[in-house]
């Protein structure tokens, strides 16, 4: 069955239709047990439409389709050049459908339309093209050992890969996951978040148009405990690539251990520090600190949620940073002037408001924000806390909302230890004009990414992932390809 949404908004007017079924073996099908789940518009709190959801039986059918495709029509049977061409065609199709896909994303998860079109959609296209370029450049090596041997390595695909992704950047994360998996010749069963199925459903026919054979990419919506768990436990899945919370990451590792020891890569949460030294270009630091924590309503894994500011510039920073928070404009996500949308769901809204309440209860100072916006939908004011102590919940736990905890520091050596006092290690941002300070800090922070004089801005060509409990393995760059291939050593006795 299909659903048609009639957009009549200030920035997008059109009707968009997509199938709400499960996309398996190149066709939309109904789930075996006919399960459905209502999708809610976070701007209004109202149901948009139901979509089909998979259970273990459907996951099994999808895995079988992926396995058959891997054996018969994909993997190294298809030249890298052809896989790259298909990925490029897919990128072109996404680009052609930018307005429509951005509209679906805004409707479904409450991202403001203008930045979604400009950032998420453009970035997704770029990521697919980046990996299209890699598809015919994945190489083994010859290895010289002794005169009587000829040895080389091959980089072979892993096989059938389950990909489980969250809701904070649905389409962009699809590109991050599908790009390297398909470039390297794997088949995929992709499970989007139950909160954000729309763009995944809309791109399914585009995959077909791009030329990917049936079964190479299967898209199955469903809940975590049911479809996600079934995929993670499936004995015929060779790898799970996951992006989401640390809690779910643990469950996926356990499921792998208990089933077939499938490979697992995890991109998890964070509590990333932003460190601003007193010699920083203050205007630049304020701008990026704002982007770091308030971009996407704070729903970014690498959000700069702990901000350490050196005493000499603290007051001026706080004055300007509060203005950034106050100037964000909440409202209709399709109004071109809106820069701040709702949190994705009632659950996330309650979670974020709960953290704000705990910060107030722990006697942190609310510099700005701290309340719900309006009464409809799940809007939270961009919120800044000062006088935060390292042991407070708002300083330790990932909030995944527009809530910054600001700390004043004096001692340059101590700030690195303070910033590292977390179980997470996804990213950090450092602001200074001093090259030595910049490098000492960028190297001293225990995190997979250090940004200097910028923040919260991954690059396709660089690895992205976590130290400590922020993850295993890396997305993006050449490094992701290592996790989508397995290496074989071939020895010849001459
Ligand atoms: P989540 O872990 O609840 O859900 C993520 C995905 O996992 C969803 O598709 C969900 O259905 C699935 N899932 C849930 N339980 C499962 C289970 N038992 N087995 C298998 N799959 C299961 O996370 P979320 O609330 O959707 O997303 C927010 C979290 O994701 C935050 O912690 C954030 O930091 C993290 N995140 C990380 C990155 C990154 O790249 N490091 C990017 C975005 C989000």
Nearest one of 341, 218, 289 to 453, comparing CA atoms: 289
Mean pLDDT on 2-11: 98
Longest Cα–Cα distance of the chain, Å, equals: 77
Report which protein residue has its CA nearest ligand 1's atom 32: 245
Pairing state between β 27-29 and 22-24: antiparallel
Q: Are the C-beta atoms of 368 and 384 separated by less than 8 Å?
A: yes
Nearest one of 262, 260, 236, 232 to 248, comparing CA atoms: 232
Question: What digits encode the pLDDT tens for the residues 119-145?
Answer: 999 999 999 999 999 999 999 999 999
Mean pLDDT on 164-188: 98
* Residue indicated by tokens 């009707």: 15
Mean pLDDT on 66-88: 98
Measure CA 176 to chain center. Answer: 8
Radius of gyration of the chain (CA): 23
Nearest one of 244, 271, 262 to 428, comparing CA atoms: 271
Mean pLDDT on 407-427: 96
Using alpha carbons only, what angle is made at residue 35 by residues 30 and 40, rounded to the nearest 5 degrees?
105
Q: Are the C-beta atoms of 65 and 25 separated by less than 8 Å?
A: yes
Mean pLDDT on 274-279: 98
Assign 160 a pLDDT band (cuts: 50, 70, 90): very high
Assign 412 a pLDDT band (cuts: 50, 70, 90): confident
How many whole angstroms separate alpha carbon 371 and alpha carbon 376? 13
How many whole angstroms separate alpha carbon 449 and alpha carbon 440? 14
How far is residue 490 from each of residues 76, 364, 485, 487, measured CA to CA in Å? 17, 61, 16, 10
Report which protein residue has its CA nearest ligand 1's atom 13: 224
Report the SS3 class of residue 148.
Answer: coil
How many whole angstroms separate alpha carbon 222 and alpha carbon 205? 19
Q: Which residues line ligand 1 (CB under 6 A)?
A: 164-168, 191, 193-194, 223-225, 228-229, 232, 243-245, 248, 251-252, 267-270, 301, 398, 400, 426, 471
pLDDT over 90 (residue 465): yes
41 bridge partner residues:
46
pLDDT over 90 (residue 93): yes
Report which protein residue has its CA nearest ligand 1's atom 10: 224
Rounded to the nearest whole angstrom, what is the distance from the C-alpha of residue 171 to the centroid of ligand 1? 15
Q: Would you call 391 exposed, middle or buried from its count of C-beta atoms within 10 A (0-12, 13-18, 19+)?
A: exposed
Chain mean pLDDT for the chain: 98
b/e per residue, 150-159, with b = 16+ CB within 10 A? eeeeebbbbb
Nearest one of 242, 262, 238, 241 to 71, comparing CA atoms: 238
Rounded to the nearest whole angstrom, what is the distance from the C-alpha of residue 130 to the centroid of ligand 1? 25
Residue 58: predicted pLDDT: 98
ipTM, two decimals, is 0.95
Both structure tokens of 77: 């049977």
Known catalytic residue at 156: no
- Give percent above pLDDT 70 in the chain: 100
Among 55, 123, 224, 344, say which to mutate for ligand 1: greatest number of ligand atoms within 8 Å of CB.
Answer: 224
Q: Are the C-beta atoms of 142 and 152 separated by less than 8 Å?
A: yes
Q: How far from each other are the two terminal CA atoms of the chain, in whole angstroms?
A: 61
How many whole angstroms separate alpha carbon 163 and alpha carbon 157? 15
Question: What digits encode the pLDDT tens for the residues 318-349?
Answer: 999 999 999 999 999 999 999 999 999 999 99
Mean pLDDT on 25-39: 98
Nearest one of 178, 164, 354, 179 to 267, comparing CA atoms: 164
């Amino acid at each position: 069955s299909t659903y048609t949404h009639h957009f009549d908004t200030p920035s997008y007017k059109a009707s968009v239709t997509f199938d709400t079924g499960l996309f398996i073996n190149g066709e939309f099908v109904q789930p075996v047990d006919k399960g459905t789940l209502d999708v809610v518009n976070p701007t209004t709190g109202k149901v948009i439409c139901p979509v089909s959801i998979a259970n273990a039986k459907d996951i099994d059918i999808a895995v079988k389709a992926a396995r058959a495709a891997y054996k018969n029509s994909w993997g190294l049977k298809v030249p890298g050049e052809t896989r790259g061409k298909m990925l490029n065609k897919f990128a072109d199709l996404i680009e052609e459908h930018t307005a429509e896909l951005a509209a679906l994303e805004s409707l479904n998860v409450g991202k403001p339309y203008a930045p979604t079109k400009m950032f998420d959609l453009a970035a997704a296209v770029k990521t697919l093209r980046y990996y299209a370029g890699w598809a015919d450049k994945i190489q083994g090596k010859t290895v010289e050992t002794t005169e009587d041997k000829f040895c080389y390595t091959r980089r072979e695909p892993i096989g059938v890969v389950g990909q489980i992704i969250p809701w904070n950047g649905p389409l962009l994360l699809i590109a991050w996951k599908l790009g390297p998996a398909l470039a390297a010749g794997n088949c995929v069963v992709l499970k989007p978040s139950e909160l954000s199925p729309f763009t995944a459903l809309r791109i399914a026919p585009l995959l077909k148009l791009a030329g990917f054979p049936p079964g190479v990419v299967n898209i199955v919506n469903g809940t975590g405990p049911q479809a996600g768990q079934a995929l993670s436990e499936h004995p015929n899945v060779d790898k799970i690539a996951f992006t989401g919370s640390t809690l779910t990451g643990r469950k996926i590792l356990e499921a792998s251990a208990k089933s077939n020891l499938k490979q697992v890569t995890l991109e998890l949460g964070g509590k990333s520090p932003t460190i601003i030294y007193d010699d920083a270009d203050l205007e630049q630091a304020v701008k990026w600190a704002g982007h770091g924590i308030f971009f996407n309503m704070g729903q970014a894994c690498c959000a700069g949620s702990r901000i350490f500011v050196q005493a000499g510039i603290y007051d001026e920073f706080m004055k300007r940073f509060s203005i950034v928070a106050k100037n964000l404009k909440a409202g209709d996500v399709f109004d071109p002037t809106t820069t701040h949308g709702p949190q994705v769901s009632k659950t996330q809204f309650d979670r974020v408001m709960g953290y704000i309440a705990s910060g107030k209860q722990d006697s942190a100072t609310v510099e700005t924000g701290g309340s719900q916006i309006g009464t409809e939908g799940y809007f939270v004011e961009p919120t800044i806390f000062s006088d935060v102590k390292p042991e407070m919940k708002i300083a330790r736990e990932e909030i995944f909302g527009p809530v910054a905890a600001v700390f004043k520091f004096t001692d340059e050596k101590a700030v690195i230890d303070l910033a590292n006092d977390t179980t997470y290690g996804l990213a950090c941002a450092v602001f200074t004009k001093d090259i030595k300070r910049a490098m000492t800090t960028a190297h001293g922070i225990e995190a997979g990414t250090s940004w200097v004089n910028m923040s919260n801005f991954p690059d396709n060509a660089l690895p992205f992932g976590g130290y400590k409990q922020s993850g295993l393995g890396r997305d993006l760059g050449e490094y992701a390809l290592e996790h989508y291939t397995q290496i074989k050593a071939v020895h010849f006795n001459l």
